[in-house]
Each structure stands twice: as C-alpha cells, then as structure tokens.
Amino acid sequence: MTLRHRLIFTLVFLQAGRTCAAETAAWLAEVPPSPPPYAPAVAKSTYNVRAFGAVGDGATKDTAAFQKALDICAVNGGGDVLVPAGTYLIGSIQLGNRTYVRLEPDATLRGSPDLADYPVIDVRWEGRWQQGRRGLIYAANVDHTGIVGPGRIAGVPGGTNGPDGLRNPVVLEPISCTDVRWEGFSVVQGGNWATHPTYCTGMVIKNVGITGDRDGIDVDSCKNVRIEGCTVTTGDDSISLKSGRGMDGARLGKPCENILITGCTLTDRTFACLGIGSETSGGVRNVRMEHCKLSALRSQAIYLKTRIGRAGGNENISGDDLEVAALTFLRINLTSGGNTSTADDPVEGLVGYPFARHLAFSNVRVSCTTLVQATQVSALQPVQGLSLVNLTGTCTSGITLANMTGVELRGIRLTGLTGPLLGIVNVLGSGLEGAAAIAAPVDPPPGNARGAAGGARGPRGAAPGT
C-alpha cells in the first residue's frame, strides 16, 4: 500500500468513526435511562394476593387468586399486586395494563409442573410463530407493566417441549408490550428459556439474577432495551438477541434494535455470554455491551451466528471495557451457525446471505484460548467493517479473518501465543501487516440439510444454541 493510499484509508476511517459515534449517540438516546429504585409509594393502589385467596404454602395452587388480583388491579387503573413472603404454586398468569407484581423478601413464585395449567396460544419459538404453551408470567399488548423484587421466581420443570411436541412454558414472556420493567428479583430456570420478551418497546431489565441450563434473556424483535447490572449464569446463551428465522422472519422484517447491555456479569457453559442469532432474519442492529464481565470457559464470550438462507444480519454491534475469560472471545459464523433440527424455509439468492457490518470492540482484557475466530464468512457477502482496538491479555491463538473489508486492528497486545497473531484471506484494512495466509472458506448449501419445515424441535439437547 502506497503512502497516498494509506492517507486516504486513514481519512476514510476517521470520517467513518465520527459518523458511527454520532449514530451511536442518536440510538442510545432512545434507550430508557437507568431508573431509580422502584418506589411502591408511587403505585396508585396495592392489591395483596392473600386478600384474594392465595395461600402460599407451596402445595395449594394459587393461580386463580393471583389472576383475580391482577385483573382487579388492571381494571381499576393499575397499581401493585403485592406478593408477601411464602411459596406460591401457580400456573400461567397474565398481567394487565399498568400492573406491577411486587415480590416481597422471601416470596417465591413456583411454576406448576402440570402442563394443563398453561394455555396453548401462538408463541414465537426459535424464530417462528407457532402453537405453544403460554409463559408462566405473561403479558400481551399492554403498557407500563413489570415485576420488582426482591423475591424469587422458579420456572416450570421439564424439557423444552412437552410430550405432544408443543413448546413448554418459558418463565417470563411479555409480547407486544411497551414500557416493561423488571428489577431486583431472581429467576431459577425450569426446562426452557428463562425470559423471552417479544415485540416489546422500551424495556428495562435491571439487577435481575438468572440461573439455569437454558437461555437466560432472549430479546426477540424488541426495540429500546436496557439490560443493566444483571447476573446471568446459564448452560445456553446468557443473553441472546433474535429477530425471526428464514422466510418467516424475513417476511415480517421486525428487527431487534437499540439494545444496551451494561454492568452485567454473564457466565455461559455451552454457547455464548452474548449470542446474536441464530435467528437474525429480521436484522439485529444498534447493540452496545459495556463494563461487563464475561466467563465462557468452554464456549464463546460473544458469538454472531446465523447461516446462509436466513437473510437479515448484524449491524452496528459494539463492545467496550470488557473483562473476558473464555474459550474464544469473539466468533463470527455467518454461513452455518444455529439450529439444524428443522428446515429453514430459506430465503433464496444473495439476499438470503446474512450480512454483518460496523462491528467494533475496544478495551477488552482477555484470558482466552482463541481471541477471534471469524472465517465462516462468505466471499459473496463480506463483513463490512470490523474494528478491534486495545485488546490485551493472554491467548494461545490469535485472530483469523476471512472475507472482510474495512478492518482496523490496533493496540492488540497478547502473551502466550503459540502461532501467528493474525491469519487472513481476502481481507482489506489497516493493521494487517505480517499476517499469515490461511485457506479460503467454502460456503455450505443454503438452509439445513435435514428436518421438516415448521416441525417441532427435537429432544432437549438435540440442537441447542439457536
């Protein structure tokens, strides 16, 4: 590269940086601010579930008493539904407009193991709308609702699907709601995802603790979401961002956008602390993770995953000030990631090749086996813009990149490497000097090779990590 070309390249990067900073500030202004601690005194009215017949002995089903308290609260203009100390066995309950569930210390909601206690409705499951069991705590098409602690919610036992193939209940599932607040309580997962906000706008998840074997927080085609101060320890993705799958998701075209993840501690055992995808057909854009601790000793700290035929993609994804201990810090797989237990109903042609652009990670302190593995990228749809700045720590393997333009590598200081710091093929950008050549990846065929479109997910463990 000549001096003239280097100067042009530098000017382009500087202008792109200023543009990205302005765009980031604009969308961050749409994310709800960090709220002060919830103040019960501001509630219009308080409805104690005990006054409606709830027993709280852990054996008596209190579903009807809870639902009556919630309904009376909503029809009277909203307020707090108070849950005093006790263990309350409940099936699915539904929150109404302007209604908060307030869990006092030593209050536990426990999901009933009887699947008949969960009505069958249309649910978004792994990127498609289909029949499934309603969440343990459910809300739809309402505004100004939430759950506040410091109590505890224990999910429904069992696997991902019931014996009839229908999706089992998730623990918390608001759909098409506005101004949702979860704060200061804990969730113990049952056999399915812990939380699954879908089509929601203006959401705050603050100081919530989640433990379990499946996904922790699945944000599905939502907009303007703050996830702050949460501790999530899971067997599958700690936080997953989704927007639909295949032609169904692309046809609807509802992105997951304007997501801020700040001050969280995420621990994952199988897939990723932050998984973006694999259902990204409606697009995932404007995501920032900052001031977080990520532990994924057998998996990825951050994983962008999708496959050819899904369409959509990832745009304006950034991370800053991260502490990482992981098998891999960053993995990008845009050709073959995600669920293979059902067919994809793929989007044909080049538009079905997922894209990724404007990815930036800075000030990351790592202890990893691999720093960045990003070779599962098609030459027909290169990544446009990957910035890695001030990544320091210990790694055995460095960075491998394929099919990218606008790459910026700067301030990468690693110890413990057993091979080259950088391996590339078909990559353009700055900071690439001295890179080793690697083999070009070969694209797999679009969609999945097995399964039936719209079929139920296989047994638990058959194809996790979507």
CA dihedral for 317, 320, 326, 329, sign (positive or negative): positive
The H-or-E segment that residue 425 falls in is strand 422-430
pTM of the predicted model, to two decimals?
0.92
The number of CA neighbours under 13 Å toward the Cβ of 327 is 14
Question: Judging by beta carbons within 10 Å of its beta carbon (0-12, 13-18, 19+), is residue 105 exposed, middle or buried?
Answer: exposed
Q: Which amino acid is at 110?
A: R
Distance CA(177)–CA(425), nearest Å, equals 45
Cis peptide preceding 278, ω within 30 of 0: yes
Per-residue pLDDT in tens (0 to 9) along the chain, 466 residues: 455 554 554 444 445 555 567 889 999 999 999 999 998 755 579 999 999 999 999 999 999 999 999 999 999 999 999 999 999 999 999 999 999 999 999 999 999 999 999 999 999 998 999 999 999 999 999 999 999 999 999 998 888 999 999 999 999 999 999 999 999 999 998 789 999 999 999 999 999 999 999 999 999 999 999 999 999 999 999 999 999 999 999 999 999 999 999 999 999 998 999 999 999 999 999 999 999 999 999 999 999 999 999 999 999 999 999 999 999 999 999 999 977 666 668 999 999 999 999 999 999 999 999 999 999 999 999 999 999 999 999 999 999 999 999 999 999 999 999 999 999 999 999 999 999 999 999 998 876 533 333 333 322 332 333 3
Beta-strand relationship, 46-48 and 313-333: unpaired
φ, ψ (nearest 5 deg) of residue 388: -125, 110
Which SS3 state, helix, strand or coil, does residue 182 take?
A: strand
Give the CA diameter of the chain.
79
